[in-house]
Amino acid sequence: MQQIKKPKKPLIFYYGVGLLIMFVLNAVIFPRYVRNQIEEVDYGTFLTMLEEKQVSMAQMEKDYIYFVDNNEEDPSFYSTIAFNDPELVDRLRTSGCKFGKVKEKEASIFGTILSVVVQVAVFVFIGQLLSRILMKRMGGSMGNAMSFGKSSAKIYVASETGIKFTDVAGEDEAKEQLQEIVDFLHNPDKYQEIGAVMPKGALLVGPPGTGKTLLAKAVAGEAEVPFFSISGSEFVEMFVGMGAAKVRDLFKQANEKAPCIVFIDEIDTIGKKRDSGGMGGNDEREQTLNQLLTEMDGFDGSRGVVILAATNRPETLDPALLRPGRFDRRVPVELPDLAGRENILKVHAKKVKLGDDIDFNAIARAAAGTSGAELANMVNEAALRAVRGGRAYVTQADLEESIEVVIAGYQKKNQVLSDKEKLIVSYHEIGHALVAALQTDSAPVTKITIIPRTSGALGYTMQVEEREHNLMSKEELENKIATYAGGRAAEELIFGSVTTGASNDIEQMTKMARAMITRYGMSEEFGMMALETVNNQYMGGDTSIVCAAETAAAVDEKVSALLKKQYQKAVKLLQEKKQKLHELAKYLYEKETISGEEFMRILKEAPECV
């Protein structure tokens, strides 16, 4: 899609033009008419001009002599210091000079007009120009005060380079639902014959970066119709009523260009639930929402005007916005599965040069839980790494490193750990890996490193599932908690002390243990009682307790008991393989980074004699 818009110049450009005009006026034009020109010369120059008969009039005062040259069109005025010269009067008479009062050159009426009126006119013109520019930028597409309320929607038109469904990977279900809208815009007759009415609106919901905006543009690209794109925040104005006016103008333009698609991004900005008490509400936002509801009821869907909207927070939207007849269809745009991630990687990899060793399936498995935007970033990071390495193409190692960059940050090459800290981190990471490997139903270890990252991690252990994992059993969750506890258990077992390095592990294992009891019903005491609710599902999933204080205290006790049990399990597993713990930690200390194959090879080897 190609956006139609005019380039904007910064305000400093107009200030610069104004200053340049004033400089030219004052430096070139005004001096010819305004400036008083009395040039002081030495007495010798004065005598020379007398001898050459270039002085037309002179005036003698106590200390100075003022004289004028004989240029009648534009005479020049001079002054010189008077000396005691008895022959001066004779010389003046001989040269034909007249005696009289020499006045300074005065500004003419025309010069006064230039110096005052013209400069004021220039300032007024620049002020008017800047005020119009400022008003236009404050009010979207407003050119003057009478254009308040005009929609600032960006209008795209169909073009050969438009986005198509083939440019969107990993969201097959969403594309299937939206394909029906495209078919209706192309062939409305077959739907009208049977009496079917196209949904007036479709709401795209999902986490950030999953491609909601891209899908909306792909619908317009496939349908080859005009595409109006506007953010919900652009309706919010500081003047009451302006947001509602923008909504009216947007739908007016859409009806004029039907069939077309109107896309409202981040609709939760104006579509939040209205206050029931009538106190502390935002009148402007509510008026805008009411106008949007009215317009969606008022327009004729059979004309081919389709409303698409996207949000990360569907639970905050007003119920009136979601009822049938407005946003009839809700299209989930979730995080891609394994096949989706692989397809997304292939789509973005078309833009870069690849080596022969690329395994997209392995990269997709390692990047579990990432969004389409993050996968695109991984491909770009891999290309940047290849350039830094002086290679002409991207290798498998570049893509694998890019996963770690997106997840854990860049390597901190300037941070040097002391020998003691490096040894502690080695045992900590091997503790995680060893506990994971010694348990059943645990994801295989693929990489262990003790190189610090910009995210703050001093090292990490990477586990990659061999297949897509959608459900987790109670035993698998307990194994993950024990794996998280493996780092702290190794520190205490070997050094008899603990460090701050397990802070993130403790946070993750506590969150998982609490979810087992409060949300997953995996405790005998509470059974299948829901004690916690998840808020903002697509924006981090914050939770809130929904139980009595006594129950919450009992939950804390159960969580603590579960964590202690799994910690003791990790200690026991490491105690049984203590010799391998020493051997693997020593190897990691020397290599700093080892692969899962190296780890398993050493683990399966016969123990060294100590």
Active-site positions? 429
Q: Which amino acid is at 232?
A: G
Please give the Cα distance from 582 to 603 (Å, whole number).
Answer: 11
Please give the Cα distance from 59 to 101 (Å, whole number).
Answer: 5
Number of other CB atoms surrounding residue 79 within 10 Å: 19
Residue of 406, 497, 488 whose CA lies nearest to 453: 406
* Dihedral sign for Cα atoms in the order 555, 560, 566, 568: negative
Please give the Cα distance from 367 to 386 (Å, whole number).
Answer: 19
Residue of 197, 299, 303 whose CA lies nearest to 251: 299
Instruction: Say whether 524 sits in a helix, a strand or coil.
Output: coil
Please give the Cα distance from 559 to 481 (Å, whole number).
Answer: 11
Q: Which amino acid is at 250?
A: L
Please give the Cα distance from 382 to 160 (Å, whole number).
Answer: 29
Q: Answer yes or no: are the C-beta atoms of 451 and 532 closer than 8 Å.
A: no
Number of other CB atoms surrounding residue 335 within 10 Å: 19
Q: Which amino acid is at 279?
A: M
Tell whether omega for the bond before 259 is within 30 degrees of 0, i.e. cis.
yes
Please give the Cα distance from 154 to 229 (Å, whole number).
Answer: 5
Q: Answer yes or no: are the C-beta atoms of 143 and 238 closer than 8 Å.
A: no
